[in-house]
Amino acid sequence: MNQPIKTAILSFGLSGKAFHAPFIQLHSGFELTGIWERTKSDSLTIYPDIHIYRSLEEILDDASIELVVVNTPTNTHYDYTKKVLLAGKHAVVEKAFTTTVAEALELKELAEKHNLKLSVFQNRRWDSDFKTVQKVIAEGLLGEIVEAEIRFDRFKNELSPKAHKETPGPGAGILNDLGPHLIDQALVLFGLPSSVFADLRMIRQNSLVDDYFEILLYYPHLRVRLKSGYQVREPLPGYILFGRKGSFFKPRGDIQEANLIANHTPNLTDWGTEPISEQGLLHTEIDGKIIREKIPSLQGNYYDYYDGVYHAIRQNRPMPVTAEEGIRVMKIIDIAFQSQEERRVKEYRI
């Protein structure tokens, strides 16, 4: 039997505490060995048997560590991940992958050169709402999709206390924060677009970075709209799909984030099960009959991402989200900023 993958996490803020550590701990193929906390030791209250690292160098010098989760601010991803790979360790990198396409390409090439596994943590692929939308499309319940909208909205007037999110510079702003989720989901559902148009704004008082975006992805017979903003008190459906046979409206109903923030421990039975009230509405034609009914949601579980990471490292399979997929998301972000600056549609080039 393979030994558990000894894993270190580079931060114990919301990301480390809620999205990474619980699922690493849950999976028998991993051992949560340590966490980088510069001055505090908060993680010991939950994981008393782990090691507290006081520097990145301590982790890099620990030969027992096989996998490092780079979940620090976006503007550190390139530097830290490069050091992790050069130390001979596999890496999981939080979104946004890096701050430039060139940085992402370099990390991919470095991982391949050293025969290491590198993945971007696009956990929203394992949300219950997205998995349900995938199923509806895959089963052809709407026919050919002609228009789609994916939203991720919040209502928040105050600025984030995390300075790296609100200070103008590489990696800051909503397009780098929530944009990777929506872009990745669109690419999983529909593939690469032919061109892109973006409208970015600052709408909160005193905001210095983009906190609203609308991105249009153009396909030969399809338009996909991605929207996100911080001034949406009453949520709209997270997913709106129109096809030649019918429509599907799905609330953004995944409950994992709320439960993780509330310190609920994930499991392999009913974790990520949406309430019935969040079911999507399907209005379409099946076998000549018009139906309009609620569709049961699939179960979501971020455990499945780390299960994919385990099999990638131990059985040499592809990572559940590859570096190449991360690069494609970065390209869309890059083109979106160019489109905003030039106020025109920009071609997507491979």
Is the pLDDT confidence value at 1 over 70? no
Instruction: Tell me the two tokens of residue 29.
Output: 């193929």
Between CA 88 and CA 246 the distance in angstroms is 51
pLDDT score of 165? 86
Q: Summarize the confidence of residues 48-56 as an average pLDDT.
A: 97
For residue range 195-247, what is the model confidence (pLDDT) as tens digits? 999 999 999 989 999 999 999 999 999 999 999 999 999 999 999 999 999 99
The Cα–Cα gap between 66 and 74 comes to: 22
Is residue 312 pLDDT above 70, yes or no?
yes
Residues composing the chain: 350
> Comparing C-alpha atoms, which of 58, 113, 55, 52 is closest to residue 82?
113
- In the chain, % of residues over pLDDT 90: 95
Mean pLDDT of 157-182: 92
> In b/e form, how buried is each residue of 171-203, taking b as 16+ CB within 10 angstroms?
bbbbbbbbbbbbbbbbbbbeeebebbbbebeee
Q: What is the mean pLDDT of the chain?
A: 97
Identify the weakest region by mean pLDDT among 1-10, 105-114, 180-189, 339-348.
1-10
Name the more confident of 164 and 313: 313
Please state the domain extents for the chain: 5-123+304-321, 126-301+332-347
Please state, in angstroms and rounded to a whole number, the distance separating the CA atoms of residues 249 and 101. Answer: 33
Is the pLDDT at 349 greater than 90, yes or no?
no
Instruction: List Cα–Cα distances, 247 to 135, 137, 167, in angstroms.
Output: 14, 11, 40
Across the range 17-29, mean pLDDT stands at: 98
Q: How confident is the model at residue 19 (pLDDT cuts 50, 70, 90)?
A: very high
Instruction: Report yes or no: 250 and 133 within 8 Å, Cβ to Cβ.
Output: yes
**Strand residue runs (E) in 81-221:** 90-94, 118-121, 145-151, 195-201, 212-219
Pair of tokens at residue 317? 């399979």
Task: Decide if 23 contacts 5 (C-beta within 8 A).
Answer: no
- 138 Cβ contact partners less than 8 Å away, ≥ 6 residues apart: none
Amino acid identity, position 333: I
**Region 287-311: what's the mean pLDDT?**
97
CA distances from 329 to 92, 131, 176, 231 (A): 16, 19, 10, 25
pLDDT value at residue 34: 98
What CATH superfamily classification does 126-301+332-347 receive?
A: Dihydrodipicolinate Reductase; domain 2 (3.30.360.10)
Calculate the CA dihedral of residues 11, 20, 163, 124 and round it to 10 degrees.
Answer: 160
Contact 51, 57 (CB under 8 A): no
Domain 5-123+304-321: CATH superfamily, name plus number: NAD(P)-binding Rossmann-like Domain (3.40.50.720)
Sign of the C-alpha dihedral computed for residues 10, 16, 17 and 21 taken in this order: negative
Residue 2, pLDDT score: 84
Indicate the Cα dihedral angle 325, 328, 329, 330, nearest 10°.
Answer: 120
Q: What integer is the mean pLDDT of 104-116?
A: 98
| 59 CA to centre of own chain | 25
Interatomic CA distance for residues 16 and 14, integer angstroms:
6
Mode of pairing for the β-strands spanning 145-151 and 118-121? unpaired
- β-pairing, 5-9 with 67-70? parallel
- Indicate whether 78 pLDDT > 80: yes
Contacts of 70 (CB under 8 A, 6+ apart): 10, 76, 77, 80, 81, 84, 91, 92, 93, 94
Strand partners, 120: 93
- What angle, 0 to 180 degrees and rounded to 10, lies between the N-to-C axes of helices 101-113 and 77-86? 10
Q: What is the pLDDT of residue 163?
A: 83
DSSP per residue, 255-317? -HHHHHHTTPPP-SSSTTPPPGGGPEEEEEEETTEEEEEEEPPPPP-THHHHHHHHHHHHH-P
pLDDT of 350 > 80? The answer is no
pLDDT in tens, 113-146: 999 999 999 999 999 999 999 999 999 999 999 9
Whole-number pLDDT of residue 161: 87
What pLDDT shows up at residue 192? 98
